[in-house]
Amino acid sequence: MSDRSVIARGEFDVKMTPEAVDAADGIPVSRLALDKQYRGALEGTGRGVMVSATTPVKGSAGYVAIERFTGTLHGRQGSFVMQHAGMMTRGAQQLTITIVPDSGTGALTGIKGSCGITIADGKHSYEIRYSLTDTSTGTS
Q: What are the pLDDT tens digits along the chain (140 aa)? A: 445 789 999 999 999 999 989 988 889 999 999 999 999 999 999 999 999 999 999 999 999 999 999 999 999 999 999 999 999 999 888 999 999 999 999 999 999 999 999 989 989 999 999 999 865 445 45
Q: What is the pLDDT of residue 41?
A: 97
In a domain, residue 140? The reply is: no
Q: What is the pLDDT of residue 116?
A: 94
At 135 the three-state DSSP class reads: coil
Q: What is the pLDDT of residue 24?
A: 84
At 24 the three-state DSSP class reads: helix
Domain count, the chain: 1
Q: What is the pLDDT of residue 106?
A: 98
In a domain, residue 84? The reply is: yes
In a domain, residue 114? The reply is: yes
Dihedral through CA 61, CA 81, CA 96, CA 25, nearest 10? 20
In a domain, residue 137? The reply is: no
In a domain, residue 39? The reply is: yes
Q: Which residue range(s) make up the domain with 127? A: 6-132
In a domain, residue 91? The reply is: yes
Spatial separation of the C-alpha atoms in residues 11 and 1, rounded to whole Å: 25
In a domain, residue 139? The reply is: no
Q: What is the pLDDT of residue 3?
A: 55
CATH number at residue 94: 2.40.350.10
In a domain, residue 103? The reply is: yes
